[in-house]
Structure 1
Amino acid sequence: MIGFLGTVIGMIQAFYNMSQAGSNVDITLLSGGIYTAMVTTVAGLVVGIMAYFGYNYLVARIDKIVYKMESYTIEFMDLLHEPANK
């Protein structure tokens, strides 16, 4: 969301500069706002991608732990249901 917010701020900045210039619009007036928009978009994407990989890593670890817990529980239940030797 930070990347999106930065993109909106950059575009607002570009349009504000364009409105202040009136009919003397130059590409350099727009480039600052567009630069801000692109940099914040890239930063937001990098953070999002890193969070996605981190999330998937943690989910995989949790799945392994849950699988082990289920296996141990099944083994324990089998031991409880095993007939006692007299």
Structure 2
Amino acid sequence: PMIGFLGTVIGMIIAIHEIANAGGQIDIKLLSDGLYTAMTTTVAGLIVGIISYVAYNHLIVRTNKVVYQMEANTVEFLDLLNEPI
């Protein structure tokens, strides 16, 4: 996600640089190239971030299931140890 935001900043810098170099002649084409770069990298960063977030939550759920099962097995084992012979 940070790479996407970095790309956004770079795209905005490109747009501002092109406007500065244009002198008094500001054309929408100058802005659109930089904004296109900025928005493309933002979307890419958001896609990566969303996929990472979903994968992280999936792993957390799986880990919690394993921990719960281990705790249940531990309790069952301790109950077996405490049974009278």
Fold agreement, TM-score > 0.5: yes
2-structure distance, mates of 1:20, 1:51: 39
User: How much does 1:35 deviate?
Assistant: 0.2
1:29 is matched with which residue? 30
2-structure distance, mates of 1:31, 1:54: 34
The residue identity in structure 1 corresponding to 2:67 is V
1:53 is matched with which residue? 54
2:82 is matched with which residue? 81
Q: Number of aligned pairs?
A: 84
User: How much does 1:33 deviate?
Assistant: 0.3
2:12 is matched with which residue? 11
User: How much does 1:83 deviate?
Assistant: 1.1
The residue identity in structure 2 corresponding to 1:62 is T
Which runs of 4 or more aligned residues in structure 1 lie more than 4 Å from their structure 2 counterparts after TM superposition?
none
**TM-score w.r.t. structure 1 length?**
0.96
Structure 2 unmatched runs, 5+? none
Identity %: 62
CA RMSD of aligned residues (A): 0.5
Larger radius of gyration: 1
2-structure distance, mates of 1:18, 1:34: 12
